[in-house]
Amino acid sequence: MILNMDGTKPIYLQISEWLEREILNGNFESDQKIYSQYQLAEMFTINPATAAKGLTLLVEENILYKKRGLGMFVSNHAKQIILNKRKNQTLKKLVLEIVMEAERLNVSREELIQMIQAVNVEEAGE
């Protein structure tokens, strides 16, 4: 329920990311109705228009669909779309950052790959 209110990331993005996480976690099934802008506004103490913008973003990405007068629902391939998006956008960006930082530190590609392989996900947890 807690957004990262550090004042730098737009809230509507945080809202859409939070909703994506809810869908990935299985809290919402396909064709299930998702929170309205007012519910979200209430939950996070944010302006309803901001919440609406977060929802609209997900509609544009086909993660949600609109039923006129009824609200917004999770689309069939929502999970897949989110996973693809995260892989192609978020993860790629992170990789780029890592590679650039490695170059700055004169870390070779091989060394970097070794470092990645050495990371124990189980231990780090999420």
Partner 1 sequence: MNIIECSSLTKVYGAVKALNNLSFELQENKITGLIGRNGAGKTTLLKIIAGYYRETLGEIKVFSEKPFNNLLVSANVMYINDQMNFPTALNLKEILNVSSTFYENWNHELADRLFDYFAFQQTQQYNNLSKGMKSTFNMIVGLSARCALTVFDEPTTGMDAGVRKDFYRALLKDYIDFPRTILLSSHHLDEIEDILEDVLLIKDGTKLLHIPVEELKEWAIGVQGSSAAVNDWIKNREVIHSKNVGLDRMYAVVKQNGSESEIQRAKEAGLAITPISSSDVCVYLTSKNKGGIDDVFIKD
Q: Which residues bind partner 1 (CB under 8 A)?
A: 5-12, 38, 41-42, 44-50, 53, 100, 104
Q: Are 81 and 90 in contact (CB under 8 A)?
A: no
Q: CB 2 → partner 1: shortest distance, Å?
A: 13
Q: CB 8 → partner 1: shortest distance, Å?
A: 4
- Reading the block at residue 117, the tokens are 């392989």
Question: Which CB sits closer to partner 1, 56 or 65?
Answer: 56
Question: Which CB sits closer to partner 1, 7 or 26?
Answer: 7
Separation CA 92–CA 29 (nearest Å): 28
1 Cβ contact list (under 8 Å, min separation 6):
43, 44
Q: CB 122 → partner 1: shortest distance, Å?
A: 33
